[in-house]
Amino acid sequence: MRLDGKRVIIIGGSSGIGLETARLALAEGASVLIAGRSEERLRKAAADLNSDKLRTAVADISDETSIQTMFAAEKQIDHVFLPAGELRPGGGDVLETDMRDLESLLKIRLLGVVNVVRQVRSKMKSGSITLMSGLYSTRPGKGGAMGAAGVAAIEGMTRALALDLAPLRVNAVAPGLIDTPLWNTFGPHRDAIMAMGASLPVGRIGKPEDVASGVLFLMQNDFVTGSVLTIDGGGSLV
């Protein structure tokens, strides 16, 4: 079930869960392309991973032309992972957030998936596409209505795309509280959020590699499709 000789594309792979997924995929023998919007972050990721089987590309998941250009050079793709997303304090509050910001959130979360699926379908004979949902799909927080709607919609898309794209497999991971650089945007609130890990049944906050190992499972097990794999340390139970 190794990934020897497989081509893996990770859009949003320059840090956090995407970066750790790239690391595990490389260790399993895959050739990996990580894409993101920041050339500087991609350079740092490439230096960190330090592999001749790694390539990087600057691309914006919400820009159809950008995604089309990135995939034009790909001949055959085996697995795609889309951890790309946004976390913003109050970013999903329908009463306070600017409409353009709310539209941007959904454009990245949902239409970004559509942009990718349209480009990769003809280049994939088999393999998998893994999307990313989140704990907010079932345990939303105050002021996060649009964020909750976005990740819940991803789970619906996962099940529908598993039918539309068969025999390609489509699954999603739903992380809980994971210590990634995305939380840095929360400024002074970050430490308080990270401390919440102690209240989870497992007694700690999640690490990016906890989720990455789940993504690798979904890539490698060819009898799993239309599933949402919850990786939250028991956060959905408390």
- Are the CB atoms for 8 and 79 separated by under 8 Å? yes
pTM, full prediction: 0.92
pLDDT band at 90 (very low <50, low <70, confident <90, very high): very low
| Domain-located, residue 153 | yes
Structure confidence at residue 87 (pLDDT):
53
The amino acid present at 194, given as its one-letter code, is M
Percent of the chain with pLDDT over 70: 94
CATH code of residue 19: 3.40.50.720
Please report, for residues 30, 33, 176, 190, 195, the alpha-carbon distance to residue 51 in angstroms, rounded to integers and kept in the order given. Answer: 11, 11, 30, 32, 34
* Residue 88 clears pLDDT 70, i.e. is over it: no
| Domain-located, residue 194 | no
| Domain-located, residue 71 | yes
* Residue 182 clears pLDDT 90, i.e. is over it: no
Which of 205, 201, 176 is CA-nearest to residue 192?
Answer: 205
11-30, pLDDT tens digit by residue?
998 999 999 999 999 999 99
Tokens read off for 103 = 């539209």
Number of domains in the chain: 1
| Domain-located, residue 42 | yes
The amino acid present at 183, given as its one-letter code, is W
Helical (H) or strand (E) element with 46: helix 39-49
| Helix (H/G/I), strand (E/B), else coil: 12 | coil
Cα 8 to the center of its chain, rounded Å: 13
* Residue 185 clears pLDDT 70, i.e. is over it: no
202-226, pLDDT tens digit by residue?
999 999 999 999 999 999 999 999 9
CB atoms within 10 A of CB 15: 22
| Helix (H/G/I), strand (E/B), else coil: 130 | strand
Domain ranges, residue 109: 7-179+208-228
| Domain-located, residue 234 | no
pLDDT band at 193 (very low <50, low <70, confident <90, very high): confident
| Cα–Cα distance measured from residue 87 to residue 227, given in angstroms and rounded to the nearest whole number | 24
Average pLDDT over residues 82-99: 71
Mean pLDDT taken over the chain: 91
| Domain-located, residue 199 | no
pLDDT band at 140 (very low <50, low <70, confident <90, very high): confident
pLDDT band at 91 (very low <50, low <70, confident <90, very high): low
| Domain-located, residue 87 | yes
Which of 76, 66, 18, 64 is CA-nearest to residue 42?
Answer: 18
| Domain-located, residue 201 | no
Cis peptide before 140 (omega within 30 of 0): no
